[in-house]
Amino acid sequence: MRGVGDGLRGTRGHRAHARAQLLAGQPLGHVVIHRTGLRARLPHTAEHLTERGQHLAQLGRVEAPGARSADPEAERVVRARIFAALARRVLFAPAFVVIAIRESEREVSHMPNVTRRDLHDSVRRPVTRRCPRRAKSPPRNPCLSPLFPAAIITVVRVNRRILTLLAALLPVVVLGVAGSLVTVPFVALGPGPTVNTLSVVNDKQVVDVRGVPVDPTDGHLNMTTVSVRDGLNIFEAFGFWLSGDHGLVPRAEVYPPDKTREEIDKSNQQDFSDSESNAEVAVMRYLHLPTAVLVRAVSEDGPAKDALRAGDQFVSVNGAPVNTPKDVVDAVSAQQPGSKITVVVLRDNAEQTVTVTLGARPGATAKGYMGITTGEGARQPMQVTFNLADIGGPSAGLMFSLALIDKLTPGELDGGKFVAGTGTIDQDGKVGPIGGIQYKMIAAREAGAQTFLVPAANCNEAKQRTPDGLRLVKVENLSGAVQSLDDIKAGKDVPSCG
């Protein structure tokens, strides 16, 4: 009989096959059992096979066709003879499994080369091992089975594999921890929000004009921004670098180390406020409308905090008329700290006279100081307010100016096109360069812009990375920007960066 099995199922298969061979009168052959079956089931199988008739009785209940006799006694004798023959065949079959575990390859070899006599002797005379009483270096348990050294080898080899795996994973774990916790001295610049200056944000017009008739506006004149992401770890920085829409620049270029974050934010907010004031003055001059000197901001702890408010229009200081912001500075500086001055302002279209006790000017303590910021703007009754928070920098000046012109003049300035742009502006209407032009163009195109107004000084940079479907229009000043938009409506050629 020749069969292969891994456990009890295979052993039962051998028994059934042996029984069939005995009933058919065929001799038994060799038996080969895998190592797994030997370890797991061989002692159990030997226990059943070494006891004659103990677990083989059930074999007698299965007979070959025609083997049943009419005489019960004769049938019993036949069964007994079958049992005895089966026991002898199984117990003394020339099949003895030798398992050799090779240390280098850890393979299992089956060698059915033992004679029946060897098997018979091994069954009748079990091998006994005695533990040595004294040894120089005795093993922890020298009375273990012959398979124990192989088990030790297996465990050692498994441990080595685990150690190898851990050694390979350690750099990955270290890199993962370092990449997540270690920050890099760079910031990521990318496309920021775009805002339609003709729209409503937080229930307020972005460019709000009151006191004069306003032309209804529709369409898009979008300002664009650049997003700045700080505090990046290694993985985040690498991801932004691979994205293609972002760029990494040294942090010191955005946040100078000699200034605090609060100082930088305050400076950006001041630049944004100045861009609003410049846009208002540039539009007043472009449309030839009168301007006035206004209170732009009042210091919370300044001498004039209870007397003046933002938006007040200067009429006179100590009786001297005010036509420029310099007139206010000269009149106040001529007074000593502690002096009282009389200021006449126009507030809500009505004149009011207030008295301010001057303080000492920072850096020039001998001169008077009111603690206000002045600037030019639209003369009352017109009042212009820009309602856009959480944005810093001066780059919105051009688009604020165009939105204000669109509200103060008939027709739609954008001509039904989605127009976006960027650029600083001064009070004379000159458009200046900005940073991050490539990211602003991406943001504009993603928002749906078809035309993008580019400061002339940024054209070389812009044309190198122009998004598909975006038309670049070169702009040098406010009047040129308005003329280009009119020409686009008329289907004429306009200055381009290309």
Find residue 355's DSSP bridge partners: 342
79 pLDDT tier (thresholds 50, 70, 90): low
Report the amino acid identity of residue 404.
L
Give yes or no: 440 in active site: yes
Predicted confidence at residue 9, as pLDDT, reads 45
283 and 382 in contact (C-beta within 8 Å)?
no
435 and 408 in contact (C-beta within 8 Å)?
no
314 pLDDT tier (thresholds 50, 70, 90): very high
336 and 322 in contact (C-beta within 8 Å)?
no
- Cβ neighbours of residue 387 under 8 Å, at least 6 residues apart? 201, 202, 204, 205, 206, 207, 208
345 DSSP assignment: E
Residues in the chain: 498
303 DSSP assignment: T
Is residue 394 predicted with pLDDT exceeding 90?
A: yes
Is residue 63 predicted with pLDDT exceeding 50?
A: no
- Cβ neighbours of residue 83 under 8 Å, at least 6 residues apart? 52, 53, 56, 57, 59, 60
Is residue 231 predicted with pLDDT exceeding 80?
A: yes
Find the mean pLDDT for residues 95-107: 39
Q: What six digits make up the tokens of 474?
A: 């070169």
Distance CA 27, CA 6 (A): 24
Domain residue spans in the chain?
187-269+385-490, 290-381
498 pLDDT tier (thresholds 50, 70, 90): confident
Is residue 400 predicted with pLDDT exceeding 60?
A: yes
Report the amino acid identity of residue 319.
G
Is residue 270 predicted with pLDDT exceeding 80?
A: yes
Give yes or no: 259 in active site: no
Predicted confidence at residue 22, as pLDDT, reads 45
Does the predicted model carry a pTM greater than 0.85? no
Structure-model confidence comparison of residues 39 and 343, the more confident one = 343
Distance CA 102, CA 105 (A): 5
Report the amino acid identity of residue 167.
A
Find the mean pLDDT for residues 117-143: 49
Predicted confidence at residue 6, as pLDDT, reads 41
Find the mean pLDDT for residues 93-110: 40
Predicted confidence at residue 48, as pLDDT, reads 41
447 and 479 in contact (C-beta within 8 Å)?
no
Predicted confidence at residue 87, as pLDDT, reads 58
CATH of domain 290-381: 2.30.42.10
Q: What six digits make up the tokens of 399?
A: 């688009």
Please pick, among 275, 277, 401, 440, the residue that the annotation labels catalytic: 440
Predicted confidence at residue 7, as pLDDT, reads 42
- Domain 187-269+385-490 in CATH 3.30.230: yes
**Rg of the chain's alpha carbons, rounded to an integer?**
49
Q: Express each pLDDT in 191-207 by its tens digit.
A: 999 999 999 999 999 99
Enumerate the H helices of 126-260 as residue ranges.
148-181, 234-243, 251-254
Find residue 360's DSSP bridge partners: 368
Predicted confidence at residue 420, as pLDDT, reads 98
Out of 27-31, 221-225, 413-417, pick the least confident: 27-31
Please pick, among 275, 277, 367, 395, the residue that the annotation labels catalytic: 395
- Dihedral in degrees, nearest 10, Cα atoms 147, 150, 155, 161: -150
Is residue 42 predicted with pLDDT exceeding 60?
A: no
Q: What six digits make up the tokens of 370?
A: 């009111």
